[in-house]
Amino acid sequence: MLNDITGQWFTSDWHFNHYRINKQGEPRGVTLFERTQFKTIEEHDKYILQQIRQWAEKHQGCVLWNLGDFGDISYLWFIEELRYSYGIECKFLYGNHDKMSDLNSFTEAFDKVYFYPVYIHPRIIVCHEPVWPAPDGTVIVHGHLHCMVVNNPHYLNANIHFCNYIPLSSKRVMKTFNKIEKVSYKFLEEPYARHIKITQYKEDAVYDRKTGMMDYEESVRLYNKNYPDHPKTPIHRQTLSW
């Protein structure tokens, strides 16, 4: 986990060679519903290669996170080009279209392969499908959503289509990060404060002695009364839902 993500870049949903005819004889592919500016999937793939290569030339030695849905693994030669020609450290996080049967190929091509959401910073999570709900105080950098975004300030879509076919910068992530209020874990200010159950005697909290469930509002009032010299603990809204 990093405290500084400078030099980290994010991209997702390259969908190389993502075009097929289904059993009903109907065409299916990413260029039909989202990337309609491309006449063929070959044109689409060639453009992504061109854009990422131009980016790599300017950002040699950086770290590139690919957040899933890579597409046809015959294109994995390009990841090796990024690593060995430009010194890019390439990390991959499986998406819903990536096959476990291709694991060895992904492992050989990328520096690191992940299967689940990863905290790359105490308050930044990278994933394919957006983690929901976002833990308080965090930014979720994700892929997966085509033609859609999560209308919530905690979420950044790294889908290459949304990012003008270049990776999303750490500067853009930090700009969002700096707008998200940091969470307090001081007693009674935690995001889970309303869900606390007391398991042994606690004199500075009000709770039901049979069930152990804390009376949040009364506990805040008691705490503020007992510690008048401390900054007042605010009564905040419930933030967790199940």
pLDDT digits (tens, 9 = 90+) for 116-152: 999 999 999 999 999 999 999 999 999 999 889 999 9
Domains of the chain, earliest start first: 8-177 (3.60.21.10), 184-242 (no CATH)
DSSP codes of every residue in the chain: --S--TTEEEEB---BT-EEE-TTS-EEEHHHHT-TT-SSHHHHHHHHHHHHHHHHHHSTT-EEEE-S--B-GGGTHHHHHHHHHH--EEEEE--TTS-GGGHHHHHHHSSEEESS-EEEETTEEE-SSPPSSPPTT-EEEE---SS----STTEEE-BTTTTTTSPEEHHHHHHHHTTSPPPP-STTTSTTGGG-B--S--TTS-B-TTT-BB-HHHHHHHHHHH-TTSPPPP--------
Segment 171-176 mean pLDDT: 92
pLDDT at 238 over 60: no
pLDDT at 3 over 80: no
Segment 44-48 mean pLDDT: 97
Segment 8-36 mean pLDDT: 88
pLDDT of 27 reads: 72
pLDDT at 242 over 50: no
Segment 154-182 mean pLDDT: 94
pLDDT digits (tens, 9 = 90+) for 107-125: 999 999 999 999 999 999 9
pLDDT of 2 reads: 63
pLDDT of 19 reads: 87
From 226, 30, 59, 17, select the one nearest 144 (Cα to Cα). 30
Kindly state the percentage of the chain with pLDDT values over 90: 76
* CA separation for the pair 4, 60 (Å, rounded): 18
Average pLDDT, the chain: 92
